[in-house]
Amino acid sequence: MTTFLLDTNILSAILRKDATVEQRLRQAIVDDDNLLLSVVVYFEIKRGLLKRDAKKQMATFEYLSNQFAWCDVIVEDWELAAHLWAERFKRGKPIVDADVLIAAQAKRLDAILVTDNIKDFADLGVKTENWKVR
């Protein structure tokens, strides 16, 4: 059994009914993999749907979010995220707070971060996978 933490862009692709991502999600369910939803990703998706008043997608998201295991940010994540952020900044490669928090969670949980932005996480020591690519 594999543990996956889905990034915002992958969850968005599911909401947009991206066939490749949906197929990979179905396979993860069949394989009985652990599917995690970060509180950070939940926030990013929810605010975007509220901004657009996307009622149909909101209903789908609410249903879908209940199918994943909830993943809160804990003190250890904040600590690791702060260190990762500072290291990247010193190398001239700043990273947005949401991404570094998601990366910290993935590291703590030994989860594969499923994202369409592999390069954003490349030097953070996080295992990644892109479900948008066959």
**CATH number of the domain enclosing 81:** 3.40.50.1010
Whether pLDDT at 43 is above 90: yes
> Domain range for residue 94?
3-129
* Residue 134 within any structural domain of the chain: no
On whether residue 21 sits in a domain, the answer given is yes
pLDDT for the residue 15:
95
pLDDT for position 134 = 76
Kind and range of the H or E run holding 83: helix 75-90
Torsion over CA of 74, 98, 12 and 31, rounded to 10 degrees? -40
Q: What pLDDT score does 75 carry?
A: 98
The answer on pLDDT for 27 being more than 90 is: yes
Please determine, for residue 3, whether its predicted confidence score (pLDDT) is greater than 80: yes
Provide the whole-model pTM: 0.94
* pLDDT over 70, % of the chain: 100
The verdict on residue 67 lying in a domain is: yes
Within-domain flag for 23: yes
* 17 within domain boundaries: yes
Query: For the chain, what is the domain count?
Result: 1
| Mean pLDDT over the full length of the chain | 96
Q: What is the pLDDT of residues 60-109, one digit of tens each?
A: 999 999 999 999 999 999 999 999 999 999 999 999 999 999 999 999 99
Closest CA to 13 of 21, 5, 4, 23: 21
